[in-house]
Chains A and B, each alone.
Chain A
Amino acid sequence: MPLEAPEESTQPLHLTIVAIASAADIVTARQRGRELAGKIGFSGSDLTVIATAISELARNILEYAKTGEIILALAQKGSRMGIFIQARDEGPGIPDISKALQDGYTTGKGLGIGLPGVRRLMDDFDATSTVGKGTVVTVKKWVP
């Protein structure tokens, strides 16, 4: 992954930030994401996958941190276009992020599908979390 960094860029031109503070914001975030992804030629099933991933990321924010934001942007890797999605919050954080990425991990609340599901839907996945500071999950999907 670090090797790709020099030629990979995020185009700030199409940067959209959706504040997440209520269930209605989840719908807004996934609709914005779908619109943006639609502009760069994703197929119908990819658009659904992207919208679903955004929905789950936004849901995680609402559930664990109460508020946060979803950042949407276009990404480029060589001649390949993709969508960049980042979920940021300043919530309680995840103590053991590697555990949270294991399939079947749950906090016991039994809501959401957790991060493993989102990871399966997307091409690139990165999550960092600091207890007491918050969580940042960054995912990308490239146009096939």
Chain B
Amino acid sequence: MRNSGREGGWAGGRLEVFMRAFKQVCGMPDYPGYLAHMTERHPGGSVLTEREFFESFVSARYGNGASRCC
């Protein structure tokens, strides 16, 4: 399950899962999720750094105008 985060019995794991969910609700980039996706789907491929990922995510999301409501 690449999307549910780490199954952590310790507090840090739960916090991490919560933070990731919160980021997704706000439409923020999820770098750990991206890393997990790359390891699973494209193992051995080149991976963006956190800054590169942030830039490409933000421009993909807002680049052609964010659709949002009144």
Q: Do A and B bind each other?
A: no
State the B residues within 8 Å of A (CB).
none
